[in-house]
Amino acid sequence: MDRHSGDGKLQIVLQTTRESQRCVIGRGRDKLQASVQRRVVMLRRWRRIRRLQAWAALLLMAVVVAGLPVYVRPQIDQLRHADAILVLGGFGEERYDYGLDLGVQGWAPTVVLSNPIEANDPKTTDLCAAPTSRPKVQCFVPHPGTTKGEARELRRLASQYGWRTVIVVTFRPHISRARFILEQCFDGDLVMVASPARISVPRWAFEYVYQTAGYARAVLQPGC
């Protein structure tokens, strides 16, 4: 009786041990499967990120290439004598000195400076306040303070003074868009020239976005 009782206890212990081993093995297998699944999910996510990065790089390259003839290498006209020189407002003070130098060289008898930010631009404010006779310097504040506002002022001044040819000074990324907008207000000849300016890579990136947005706005709001 005692021996049978001992054998029964031993079988119970062995069965419990086997079940415990199966539980341990099962838990280990579950952990391994969960770990593998996590790795698979991470790998798939990483592959999606890499594909998105590749597409983003391709899109960026396409934008850069498409913008080369518009922003980096726009149509710049050969200088010729004109009725006036119009210096558009915007990035880079060099444009104002360059426009005045063209006037001193005799390319036009009048230099017109746009000052869209008024007193916040001390450089232009000082140039407008300085007494000059040759060339004659005129200044104006465009309304609105955009290229379209400058184009409207050009139309008014050209009508008042009978200008037929105007040299327009701005910096390189703005050349094409400025031509597009000014031609909608002025039916004379525009001589578009780029002022010397050092443009950093971050500034080029900004101008790509800014000029493209300005182009889109000009297309959606045609006319003068």
Q: Kindly state whether residue 78 falls inside one of the protein's structural domains.
A: no
pLDDT of residue 92: 78
| pLDDT cut 90: percent of the chain above it | 38
CATH code for position 99: 3.40.50
3-state secondary structure at position 82:
coil
Q: Kindly state whether residue 79 falls inside one of the protein's structural domains.
A: no
| pLDDT tens digits, 94-113 | 899 999 999 999 999 999 99
Q: Are residues 104 and 193 in the same domain?
A: yes
| Distance, CA of 63 to CA of 130 (rounded, Å) | 43
Q: Give the other-Cβ count within 10 Å of 1's Cβ.
A: 5
Q: Are residues 93 and 191 in the same domain?
A: yes
| pLDDT tens digits, 80-97 | 999 999 999 888 788 999
Final residue of a domain: which of 73, 92, 117?
A: 73
> Where do we find the tokens 């419990």?
16
Q: Are residues 96 and 148 in the same domain?
A: yes
Q: Are residues 1 and 99 in the same domain?
A: no
Q: Are residues 43 and 95 in the same domain?
A: no
Q: Kindly state whether residue 210 falls inside one of the protein's structural domains.
A: yes
Greater confidence, 65 or 106?
106
Query: Containing H/E element for 97?
Result: helix 94-104
What is the span of the domain harbouring residue 18? 1-73
Q: Are residues 108 and 183 in the same domain?
A: yes
How many domains does the chain fold into? 2
Q: Are residues 182 and 131 in the same domain?
A: yes
Q: Are residues 65 and 111 in the same domain?
A: no
Q: Are residues 10 and 68 in the same domain?
A: yes
Query: Containing H/E element for 169?
Result: strand 165-170
Q: Are residues 191 and 123 in the same domain?
A: yes
pTM to 2 decimal places = 0.70
